[in-house]
Amino acid sequence: MKKVTVSICTGTTCYLMGAAHLLCIDEVLDPYVRDHVEARGAHCLGLCHNEANGRAPFVKVNDRVIADANLTLVLDAVREILEEEN
């Protein structure tokens, strides 16, 4: 099974809008899922410069962009990707 990459924007706007909380995603991942997820902070993803992308904080789960991200949305995206691979 491939790793799912979770890139959490840590640019100033995203960080202040909740990305700081998202950086603890490893703590809430199921142990089975944790082995298949690589979560990391990423310098500004540049997504907040275009209103069409939505609102900060932004997270990329593989190539999926999640706007106004929270733990539930990110975990759901991770689960969907892992289920697609099975």
| Residue range 29-34: mean pLDDT, rounded | 88
Please, which residues bridge with residue 65 across strands? Answer: 60
Superfamily of domain 4-85: Glutaredoxin (3.40.30.10)
Q: Structural domain boundaries of the chain?
A: 4-85
The mean pLDDT value of the chain amounts to: 93
**pTM, to two decimals:** 0.91
**Rounded Cα gap, residues 52 and 38, in angstroms:** 27
| Residue range 5-17: mean pLDDT, rounded | 96
Contact assessment for residue 75 and residue 42, using Cβ atoms and an 8 Å cutoff: no
| Residue range 41-46: mean pLDDT, rounded | 93
Reported as a pLDDT band with limits 50, 70 and 90, residue 2 is confident
Return the closest-CA partner of residue 79 out of 10, 7, 6: 6
Share of the chain above pLDDT 90, in %: 85
Which residue in the block uniquely carries the two structure tokens 């900060």?
56
